[in-house]
Each structure stands twice: as structure tokens, then as C-alpha cells.
Amino acid sequence: MKLRYLSGILLLATGLFVASCDDEDDYSVRTGEIISEIKTGDASVTAISAEIQGTVKDLGLVSPSSYQVGVYYGTNANPTTSGSKQIGTVDDNGNVSASLTGLTTGTTYYYATYVTLQSKVTKFGEVKSFVATAAKVATTDAADITSCKATFTADITGTEGLDSPETGVKLALNAEGVTSGKTAPLAVVSGLLPGTTYYYAAFVKVGDGYVYGNTKSLTTTVQQMEYVDMGLSMLWAKYNIGAEAETEAGALFGYGDPTSMLFSSNADGYPSTDIVGTANDMVLGLQLDADSPMKSQMPTAAQMAELIKNTTQERVTVEGVEGMRFTAKNGNSIFLPVTGYRKGEEAVADGKGYYWSGNVSAVNAGYSNTLTFDASAAKSGFSQRPLGLAVRSVRAYAVVQPENGKLIFGNIENNGHLRIELYNEYGASQANPSIDPTAIKFSKNMVVTFKLTGITDNLKEGATGSYIAGLEYSDPTWGVSYWSTLKEVGKYEALVSGDGTYTVWMETDAAANGAVVFCVDIANLWNDLKDSSKVGVEVTSIKLDADVELPVNASIVSFSNKDGNGTDGRIEIYNEYGESGSLAKGYYNTNLKFNGMLYVDFTISGMDDNWVAGASKSYKTELSYADADWDPSYWGGAAYGAATITGDGTYQVHTYLNGNCEGAMVWAIELYNLWKDLVDGTKVSVKVNKVIIPGKQ
């Protein structure tokens, strides 16, 4: 195949011939230029040299021997006709570099990136200029660093005689990218991202030539974002991302660029899918949430629509900044300032507000959904993904702290149970509740932790000594609810055995929005008390959509014969004295802290078609666990929490541990009598799918 370039047209052999294909001077034609983009970049200069940058796109279509790149330069304003040529290099991304030496200090040079195709056709980028200067720049340490701001300064000398030199600082997320990074003034710079390390270098610029100082770095502090309860499905942040006050626009992001440092206008450089909760979510990776169990994220388009629909909006001015005030039915409000937008590095102030959602447009694949407002109204909209827009984060409701002095508890239902009544639309707590029932909003789970005193040494002779506690809850629709039977310690119950701290919980696959009944019942405990006046109750926390799962190190989970007895099977999750202990000694000692329920979901396979003759194919299975100090511990034998293995499949086992568990010494699932009924135990494989510890600390 042979290529020829005539007047910028690429000629390509395609099978459509003008004459014989044996004549190397005959070609068929594909119209369209091979070079989609050629740009002249900036110059890094000294008194006698310069490093020139540029861009030539799509050279990957041809072999390196068929083109040449570099820069034309000279003192004439049009170096493309009268300048000198300096051959450069180009990388796989089309970035061109060329080095100039032997320059004359104080002289203005003009330059343009070029590409020559087949030694016949030369194309140029735009003409730019620089001054070869002896100016010196020393970058000084940034000062007054906060979560979203820093003050930049520099020591600059040798600029005498330069025509209107510009000064500033370049910011990037790595040292190598500083010279092509974001431009900011030598002043207080806002819109930085919290908990982020930036590299920076001060500069002097004359024309398109830069003199750079040394590169330094800073790390912004962690930000604890304030959230406002708008009575909606999510909490809304009080400030924009990259802002420390409600009047600040903060950072402007291209869609799906969590760095806010991408300025390309090419839509292919930005995600074309929904990004909420993904690595491209511009909020999820930021340090905004302190010790909250919930994590900030971008709002969805539906959540933005919910905000607009369920609030009143008013265009207002706050501390001299125009914006839109969104006021909820509960009286709370948030202010979204006018932001304008960013196109490349250019800020466009048009008096409007533009805020990204984390969803792409279903109408036009080149756009993503937004919330926008002008002088009169807020609405759902969409914008091109390369544009830089503001982001206002959301977060799920997390922890509700009851007023324990308002708790009602006792034999409220006259059934012998001890009831802790947080709220009951039909009870005494309705008039003076310990919680705001409208604050109980969750879509995954609710975890309630409570503390009892006055139980130990206060039980009647012959009392059972252990009591099942469970939730009784419904939201106002009666559609999201959990009503414990109080008959067994299931996945959601607690086993009360005296004074101590206990956890009960529930799960849901629908959104709960408030409470109409919200109680904890402890079966038959009131009947067994000698003196009920001694009892004290405190609800220490109500966690909403809490993180209740513990990641498991799958690489150290194994199946073996328990203790070499030739009888029982064991799924060893961790054993300080076993193979897992030698592979990862003390693995769970720092990341496993909980009180109460320990629930394990696991899958076992390789048993079917692997039975000895006469195998029962039915095996009791339960947990064994001891924390790092051997107490609390559980070694089986309870009337709850066991499973029966009948073959390959997925099973669950659980137990309730009273006391604070920290780490693990032994943690296993025992499969009694299973090993002896297997032809070959090595054919069995196991996987721990999920570990749930709702009392996670």
C-alpha cells in the first residue's frame, strides 16, 4: 500500500483503481484530511533556550517514516515563511516537543508547530511568540491552606524591560503535569478540592512563553460538609464542592472528571454513562464526611427533580452574590449561587447557575442531566459533558440521636414485655417524642443500639435470664415495616442477658420516610424483674442506611477436616493457630469491632456426587468464634443460628455475642459429621459471600 498527500488530501489504496495497481504512481482516492488537529502550544523559556510544546492529532494512521514534526521559529512575525525549522518529537497522544537553543536574550521570537507529510505537504498550527528572558522565578510555600483554598506567592526577578509580563501559578495533581496544569493567580485561590495533594509552580509569562519556578506541593485539609434536611429522600449539602461558604461557586468540573483539572473540549474524554456511585463520581472520593457512616455523592437527576418539585425557589442576593434559594416544606433551605460555566479554561459568566447530576441524558447521548436556573426559575436541564459546571452533593440520612430523657419504657402493652417506645402515633410518646419521626428516613436498613441497666441481680428466682429483643417499626405508609415475633434470635434480634449494650435492626428494599410506630420490645423481661424501678434505658444511636458488612479476606478462607478428627468439616475464616494465621497473622485484629449479631452467608460446593455410601446428607452447621482476647466467644450449642447442610448450596449461620468483640482468634463454620461422609474432601470448595455485623463500631 502506498500513500500520497496532494494539497492536504490523503490518497489511500482501497481497491478502487484508476489504472493498473502495478504502477506505483497510480492511486485511488479517499477524501478527508489525515490531520484532525494541529495546535501550537506554550513555550518554557530561559535567556537562551526554549522548550516548545504542541499537538498534532491522528499521526497514528501512518508510519513514522512518512511524517516529520517540530517547530518553525524566528524573529519575523510569520515564521512559517521565513523562520528556521527545528525537528521535534511526538508521543502516542500527539503531543509534540521541540528544543530551541542559541537564542538571544531580550529578543522576541515567533513560532508555530508544524507537521510535514511525505516531505511534500506541510501544515502549521497557529503562530505564537515568546521573549528569551533572563527573568528568574522562585516558587514560595503556599500559605493559609484550608480545605478549598490556598494563597500562592513567588519571588520574581529580572523582569525589567519586559512588556506587560503576566505572573501566576500552575497547579496539577502530579509533578510531571505542572507546566500543562491549571492556571491560577498569585493570590488566594479557591475552588480546590478537600484532602487533595496539589503540585504547583509559579511563572512569569510574556506572550506565550513561560519562565517557571521550582515545583512544590501542598495538601488541602479534610472538609466536613454540612448537610441540610430538606424533607426529601436525601440530605443536601450546604455548600458546593470546592467551596467553604454558600456564596462560593467552588470547583467547576467536566462531567465525570473528579479532578476538576480536565479542560479538553473533546466529549470522548468524558464518561458517556451514569456516574453516581462510581469512580467517576466527582464527590464520592473526596474527604467530606468525617466519621459519618454515610458517604457523600453526586445527586441523581431524579433527586434534582425532587428538589425542584418539593421546594419553593426565589432568586435572591446573599452577601452580594446572586443565586437561587430553595426552601423546603419543613422550613429549611439551601442557597445555590450563580456559577456560570467553564469552557476549557475560560470562565463564562452568564448570570445563571449550572449544576451536574450524575446521569447522562436519555434524550441526547452527547449531554448529561443538570439542574439549571436563570433570573426567574429553576428547572431540570442538560449540558455538554466537556463544559465545567458546579456540583452540589447529597448524602443519605445517617444517625438520629434520641432525647433519652423523653424515652417511655415499661410494660406498656400489659403483656409482660419491656417496651422501649421511641415513637408511637397511638401512644403516649406521640405528644412528646424522643425523636422527630420525620427524620427516620432510610432505604437499606436501620440499626438501633440501646443500653440497659438495673437488670443484672434484679431478676426473680427461676427467671430464664435471657430474653429476645426485636424491633417493632412501620413508616407512615405501613408498607416499610418490621415486626419481630420475639420467638427466636433471628438475623435482626438481640439476646438480652443482663446489663449491657445491645443492637437490633431491620432491612428494607424500599424507602422508609418517617415513623408511625417505632419501638424495641424485650420479650417477658418485665415479668421477670424483682424491682422494675431500678431499670434504666438509653438508646445510644439510631443509624440509618448503616454500613453493616465486613469485607472478608477470601484468600485465607479454607475447607478442611476440623482438628484432624476425621469426622467434622470446618470452613476456616480465620484461625490464629491454623493456616490462615500463618498466612495473615492478626488479620482481623484492627478492622473487626462489633457488639451483638455475627451473621455469615456462605456457599459450599463439591459435595454432590462426592458422598460415601450411606451418607446421611444432612449435617448441623454453626459458628465458632472467639475474639482476640478469647472473650466474648461462642462455641455452638445455642437454640438458634444453626443451619442444616443438605448438599451444594448457599447457607446462613449466626450467633449473638454479648460484649465488645475486637478482632478474631478463631472464626470458623463447623459442619458436624460432614467430613467422614465425603469421598474426597479436597474436592469441596467454599466461599464466604457476606458477613453482617450490625453492631459495627
Q: How far apart are CA 339 and CA 370, in angstroms?
A: 13
Give CA–CA dist 328/440, Å, rounded: 17
- Tell me if 83 sits within 8 A of 110, measured CB to CB: yes
Under-70 pLDDT residues of the chain: 1-33, 291, 293
- The separation between the first and the last C-alpha atoms of the chain, rounded to the nearest angstrom, is 68
> The dihedral of CA 269, 275, 278, 281: what is its sign?
positive
CB 469 within 8 Å of CB 523: yes
- As a whole number of angstroms, the distance between CA 642 and CA 658 comes to 18
User: How many residues comprise the chain?
Assistant: 697
Residues 105, 45: contact at Cβ < 8 Å? Answer: no
Q: Determine the distance from the C-alpha atom of residue 161 to the mean position of all C-alpha atoms in its chain, rounded to a whole number.
A: 50
Q: Which three cell numbers stand for residue 607?
A: 459435595
Calculate the average pLDDT of the chain: 92
CA distance 418 to 435: 19
d(CA 44, CA 249): 32
Of all residues in the chain, what percent are helix, strand and coil, respectively (each to 5)?
A: 10, 40, 50
Phi first, then psi, for residue 421 (nearest 5°) are: -100, 110
Question: What's the pLDDT score for residue 19?
Answer: 25
Pairing state of beta strands 209-212 and 38-45? parallel
**305 near 380, Cβ under 8 Å?**
yes
pLDDT of res. 291: 67
Contact 240, 250 (CB under 8 A): yes
pTM of the model: 0.61
C-alpha cell at 630: 478469647
Q: How far apart are CA 592 and CA 573, in angstroms?
A: 13
Distance, CA of 296 to CA of 89 (rounded, Å): 44
Determine the Cα–Cα distance for residues 207 and 607; give it in Å rounded to an integer: 76
Cis peptide, bond prior to residue 402, ω within 30 of zero: no
**C-beta neighbour count of 349 within 10 angstroms:** 10
- Grid coordinates of 286: 473526596
Task: Retrieve residue 427's grid coordinates.
Answer: 401512644
Quick check: 660 and 599 in contact, CB under 8 A? no
